[in-house]
Amino acid sequence: MDKSFDIAAFRTPAQYTIGNSGRNILRGPGIANWDLSVFKNFSFTERKYPQFRWEMFNALNTAQFLNPDTTVEAGTAGGRILGARDPRIMQVALKFYY
């Protein structure tokens, strides 16, 4: 993504000084994540049974962008979002209870 904030509004403070910008003044993109699990028990006896599991993380496969780069020097990637979180991940398992 292109610039999510203007790096010209910020600059690196002089050496041995503290900057004057507030804390948490920038916000990154939000997270809209849905996880889904499906479980099925197959009863053989009352106490012993296998369980089939199917789990999806980020089930809707929505893009989850990382926070922007906060480097403010000219010629850097400052203000740009350069990555994303994991896409949809699925796993299948068979568990036996006894």
Distance CA 80, CA 41 (A): 47
In a domain, 10, yes or no: no
- pLDDT for 8 beyond 90: no
Distance CA 52, CA 60 (A): 22
In a domain, 19, yes or no: no
How much of the chain, in percent, has pLDDT values that exceed 70? 98
Domain range spanning residue 57?
36-98
In a domain, 91, yes or no: yes
In a domain, 20, yes or no: no
> pLDDT for 13-43, tens place per residue?
889 998 888 888 888 888 889 999 999 999 9
How many domains, the chain? 1
Look over the chain and give the mean of its residue pLDDT values, rounded to a whole number: 88
